[in-house]
């Protein structure tokens, strides 16, 4: 019961953090963005250990961003907008090939940003799914349309294998622990527009600064 309560809290937290991500001027608060990812990783960890190679990478990237936030230049990392400006102005980003700044905030966040597109596509599919829809298929379709394009063959292979271990739709909904399928749909309906907006604001910012392909 305790675990389920934690999880319930987590999903609510995910929702809340994505809600609190955007300032009134459409800036994205890094602290809340990272908290949203923490919640997603906790959810993923409940789905089984086949996903641990994925969550390890996500946790690693979250930690890099947290270190920037807590570092001596943390004030520049309050929003994604200020982070991009600071790192570009100070030449702290490898723009064409990997070199001195393998842990720049810009390149690290870009990886999570691409994964957020996967999440958006996956949740869209979940929202329009029916009882006999296959979560593995929905997950790999969403992946192929987004993240896969940025992954080497070996990672696509590993991800593809892990997707087959996804629980079915009913179990998936149970693990979300928000109630009936109708209530899950309502939560998805609340969450998706927020995730989409955070994604789009970040995408536009990266496009304007020409940093969508950071190595
Ligand atoms: C539920 C199943 C999860 C499926 C997640 C799909 C993503 C697959 C990614 C597989 C690759 C991970 C291994 C490492 C890859 C890195 O090479 C790559 C690039 O980084 P770099 O430093 O080498 O250039 N890293 C990434 O692309 C980042 C991947 C982060 C993935 C984080 C996924 C978090 C998932 C959360 C599950 C949410 C469940 C949805 C339900 C939510 C309900 C509100």
- Which single residue is written with the structure tokens 């702290």? 92
Parent domain of 94: 2-208
For residue 115 and ligand 1, the question of a CB distance below 6 A is answered with: yes
Q: 50 C-alpha vs ligand 1 centroid, how far in Å?
A: 12
Q: Which two tokens stand for residue 148?
A: 């896969």
Is-contact 109 84, C-beta < 8 A?
no
State the complex-level ipTM. 0.95
From the CA of 58, how far away is ligand 1's center (Å)? 6
User: Would you say residue 28 lies in a domain?
Assistant: yes
Residue 79 lies in a domain: yes
With respect to residue 186, please indicate whether it lies within any of the assigned structural domains.
Answer: yes
Q: Is the CB of 33 under 6 A from ligand 1?
A: no
Q: Is residue 213 part of a domain?
A: no
pLDDT, residue 46, reads 84
Q: Is residue 214 part of a domain?
A: no
Distance CA(29)–CA(22), nearest Å, equals 6
- Is residue 215 situated within a structural domain? no
From 14-18, 61-65, 99-103, 185-189, the region with the lowest mean pLDDT: 14-18
> If you average pLDDT over every residue of the chain, what do you get?
92
- Percent of the chain past pLDDT 90, that is, above it, reads 76
- Say how many Å lie between the CA of residue 119 and the centre of ligand 1: 9
pLDDT at 123: 93
Which CATH number goes with the domain that contains 82?
1.10.3520.10
Q: What share of the chain is helix, strand, coil (3-state, %, to 5)?
A: 75, 0, 25
The model's pLDDT over 87-132, given as tens digits with 9 standing for 90+, comes to 999 999 999 999 999 999 999 999 999 999 999 999 999 999 999 9
Q: Is the CB of 147 within 6 Å of ligand 1?
A: yes
pLDDT (tens digit per residue) in 165-215: 999 999 888 888 788 888 888 888 888 999 999 999 999 999 999 999 999
Instruction: Judge whether residue 153 has pLDDT over 60.
Output: yes
Count structural domains, the chain: 1
Q: Which atom of ligand 1 is nearest to the CA of 187?
A: 44
Long-range CB contact pairs, 120-125, < 8 A, 24+: 120/192, 120/195, 120/196, 120/199, 121/145, 121/146, 123/188, 123/191, 123/192, 123/195, 124/192
Alpha carbon of 56 to ligand 1 centroid (Å): 9
Is the pLDDT confidence value at 9 over 80? Answer: no
Q: Which helix (H) or strand (E) holds 125?
A: helix 105-127
Measured from the CB, is residue 30 less than 6 Å from ligand 1? Answer: no
| 14 ligand 1 Cβ < 6 A | yes
Confidence of residue 8 (pLDDT cuts 50, 70, 90): low
Which pLDDT value is given to residue 47? 84
User: Is the pLDDT confidence value at 48 over 90?
Assistant: no
In a domain, 43, yes or no: yes
User: Ligand 1 centroid vs 157 CA: distance in angstroms?
Assistant: 13
Residue range 35-41: average pLDDT? 92
């Amino acid at each position: 019961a305790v675990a389920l309560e934690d999880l319930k809290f987590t999903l609510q937290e995910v929702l809340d953090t994505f809600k609190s991500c955007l300032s009134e001027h459409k800036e994205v608060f890094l602290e809340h963005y990272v908290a949203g990812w923490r919640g997603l990783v906790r959810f993923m960890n409940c789905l089984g250990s086949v996903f641990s190679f994925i969550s390890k990478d996500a946790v690693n990237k979250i930690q890099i961003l947290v270190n920037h936030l807590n570092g001596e230049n943390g004030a520049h990392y309050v929003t994604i907008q200020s982070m991009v400006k600071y790192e570009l102005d100070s030449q702290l980003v490898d723009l064409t090939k990997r070199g001195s700044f393998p842990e720049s905030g810009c390149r690290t966040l870009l990886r999570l940003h691409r994964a957020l597109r996967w999440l958006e596509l996956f949740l869209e599919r979940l929202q329009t799914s029916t009882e006999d829809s296959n979560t593995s298929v929905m997950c790999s379709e969403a992946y192929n349309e987004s993240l896969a394009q940025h992954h080497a063959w070996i990672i696509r292979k590993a991800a593809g294998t892990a997707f087959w271990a996804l629980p079915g739709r009913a179990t998936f909904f149970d693990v979300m622990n928000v109630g009936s399928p109708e209530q899950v749909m309502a939560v998805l309906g609340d969450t998706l527009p927020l995730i989409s907006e955070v994604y789009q604001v970040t995408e536009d910012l990266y496009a304007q600064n020409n940093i969508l392909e950071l190595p």
